[in-house]
């Protein structure tokens, strides 16, 4: 009974302490996995086309024009969640003059050049208004054809996700009934971009865990010895008749 009681008491005291240390150790480990050892560079290539699919009469009446946009995105992340720098290059198909749009995904500044590389337009913020202007220059009228305007505005939202979740996107076939533009194939690749290697050790927390286990073990043995000695002393006393 003495042994069982002391063991249960020791466990009741030590387990919460080890649980707290283990919690912070696991959080630190998760953070290390998230950072993936420093900066990462990603190259994403895909093609965007007007969405000609429909599930109701309203979508069927969309006046989609025949064009495509080849998209090439170059990203550098500080970790899985933070974009450090990024550039999106969008090339409109040759029938529209092979205009090339380059957007800085961090500052949102942009430049539009023609097929000869001559600068046509530029701006400080690539927003819906700027996107519609680009479409008009390329030859996709956003005033008369509502679907062109919708596709231009969606392009802004499409590019913004790289800054919001840089490593959460994988290129591939993505045909949606809801989005004005669909994605056709492509590739996504990530690689280290210099800087520290991935370390899995949680030195402070592992050390704290070992110290806590060691101290609790020593205290358990000392306490058990003292209790046994005390019990033996009590048993050795004479009992009054």
pLDDT digits (tens, 9 = 90+) for 89-100: 999 986 766 899
Residue 129: partners with Cβ closer than 8 Å, 6 or more residues away: none
pLDDT tens sequence across 165-193:
777 777 777 777 778 888 888 888 888 76
Q: Report the relative pairing of strands 83-92 and 69-77 from DSSP bridges.
A: antiparallel
**Whether the Cβ atoms of residue 151 and residue 180 lie closer than 8 Å to each other:** yes
Q: Are strands 100-104 and 83-92 parallel, antiparallel or unpaired?
A: antiparallel
How many Å apart are CA 232 and CA 226, to the nearest integer? 10
Measure the CA dihedral 32/37/41/46, to 10°.
Answer: -40
pLDDT at 226: 81
When pLDDT is cut at 50, 70 and 90, the band that residue 196 belongs to is very low
pLDDT of residue 93: 86
In which band, very low, low, confident or very high, does the pLDDT at 197 lie, cut at 50, 70 and 90? very low
0.85 cut: is pTM over it? Answer: no
Q: Indicate the pLDDT class of residue 35, thresholds 50, 70 and 90.
A: very low
Domain chopping of the chain, boundaries:
2-34+199-235, 38-192
**What is the largest distance, in Å, between two alpha-carbon atoms of the chain?**
116
Could you say which DSSP state residue 20 is in? H
Of 59 and 119, which is predicted with more confidence? 119
The yes-or-no verdict on residue 208 having pLDDT over 90 is no
C-alpha–C-alpha distance, residues 178 and 173, integer Å: 15
Question: Which pLDDT band, with edges at 50, 70 and 90, does 224 fall under?
Answer: confident
- pLDDT band with cut points at 50, 70 and 90 for residue 38: low
């Amino acid at each position: 009974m003495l042994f069982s009681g002391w063991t249960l008491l020791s466990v009741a005291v030590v387990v919460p302490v080890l649980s707290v240390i283990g919690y912070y150790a696991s959080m630190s480990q998760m953070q290390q996995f998230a950072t993936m050892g420093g900066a990462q560079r990603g190259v994403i290539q895909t093609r965007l086309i007007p969405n000609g699919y429909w599930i109701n009469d309203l979508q069927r009446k969309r006046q989609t024009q025949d064009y495509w946009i080849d998209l090439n995105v170059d990203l550098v992340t500080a970790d899985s969640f933070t974009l450090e720098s990024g550039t999106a290059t969008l090339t409109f198909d040759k029938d529209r003059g092979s205009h090339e749009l380059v957007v800085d995904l961090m500052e949102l500044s942009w430049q539009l050049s023609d097929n000869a590389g001559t600068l046509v337009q530029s701006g400080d913020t690539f927003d819906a208004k700027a996107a519609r202007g680009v479409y008009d220059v390329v030859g996709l009228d956003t005033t008369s054809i509502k679907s062109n305007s919708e596709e231009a505005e969606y392009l802004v939202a499409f590019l913004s996700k790289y800054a919001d979740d840089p490593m959460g996107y994988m290129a591939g076939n993505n045909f949606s009934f809801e989005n004005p533009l669909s994605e056709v194939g492509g590739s996504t690749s990530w690689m280290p971009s210099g800087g520290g290697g991935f370390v899995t050790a949680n030195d402070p927390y592992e050390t704290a865990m070992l110290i806590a286990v060691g101290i609790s073990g020593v205290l358990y043995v000392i306490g058990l010895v003292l209790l046994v000695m005390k019990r033996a002393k009590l048993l050795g006393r004479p009992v009054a008749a």
